[in-house]
Amino acid sequence: MTSRKPPRVGDSPTFRRFLIAFVLIVGTLLIAAPLAVIFAQAFSKGWPTFASTIAHPDTRHAIFLTVVTALIAVPINTVFGIAAAWALTKFDFRGKRLLTILIELPFSISPIVAGVAYLFVYGLQGLFGPLLQSADIKILFALPGIVLASMFVTAPFVARELIPLMQAQGRDLEEAATSLGASGWRTFFYVTLPNIRWAMLYGIVLCNARLMGEFGAVSVVSGNIRGQTNTLPLHIELLYHDYQTVGAFAAASILTVLALVTIVAKVLLERQGAGRHHGSALAGPVAVSQDTTR
């Protein structure tokens, strides 16, 4: 006698068709339709209007400020993420769980709350406000405040990608490199970094995408000064409130293109990283041994 396998969820052709249709409909309504509307509205009055909106000084400054913020905050968060992942996965110390909670804290706190917190720390009536004012150092309503707020909301991304990978890799490779006479920095560049490079790049892509779309925290600390402290998301809001719908959608299309580029980069990095960790892990100690024997 042959035993019959119990039916699985989705074995029915009717259920499969219903599930696929449901996902397609919801995905179209929630994702595809808004994206199509953004580009349709952006070009609704033709290419000249779109180009003039992007070429406007306020729009160009908003794009410039967003890019500068990313160029400052993303590298700092990358170094922080690598250091945090290294500390949590390679060392045992008291307060390890507390450090993990602190790294994940920005995921739990509203960005607007973070912006208000920065007001109470660096504002004129804040903790360091009088000291900063006496030294003629301006943090809030300027680039430093925007960078700090952006760093806060994007701080966990690189670390969250690296920690699981480095935990799975363990400490054997670094200990083997050290036993071969490699220094700490040489061990990092020849063993650790090659093994985490794809996860690190993946975290950088996510960090950059999140930073360029940040609105809540930056809106609090920037002051919304047109042409001076407005990043691209804040500029889009101002255009929309000024009833410049086409301009708002034209600026929004830039962020949409960046989002699509981020998705493509994410897929490519996932393909590059698949199946390569093992090979690079084997190559690390070999490279160190060859370098130390020269």
* CATH code where residue 102 lies: 1.10.3720.10
pLDDT digits (tens, 9 = 90+) for 208-219: 989 988 898 899
In a domain, 11, yes or no: no
Distance from C-alpha of 73 to C-alpha of 242, rounded to nearest angstrom: 30
Q: What is the pTM of this model?
A: 0.80
In a domain, 240, yes or no: yes
In a domain, 44, yes or no: yes
Q: Smallest Cα–Cα separation from 207: which of 270, 151, 248?
A: 151
170, 176, 181, 185 alpha-carbon torsion, rounded to 10°: -20
In a domain, 9, yes or no: no
In a domain, 8, yes or no: no
On average, the pLDDT of the chain sits at 83
**Domains in the chain: how many in total?**
1
Q: Indicate the residue type of 144.
A: P
- Mean pLDDT, rounded, for 181-193: 81
- pLDDT at position 169: 83
Write out the residue range of the structural domain in which residue 63 sits.
Answer: 23-292
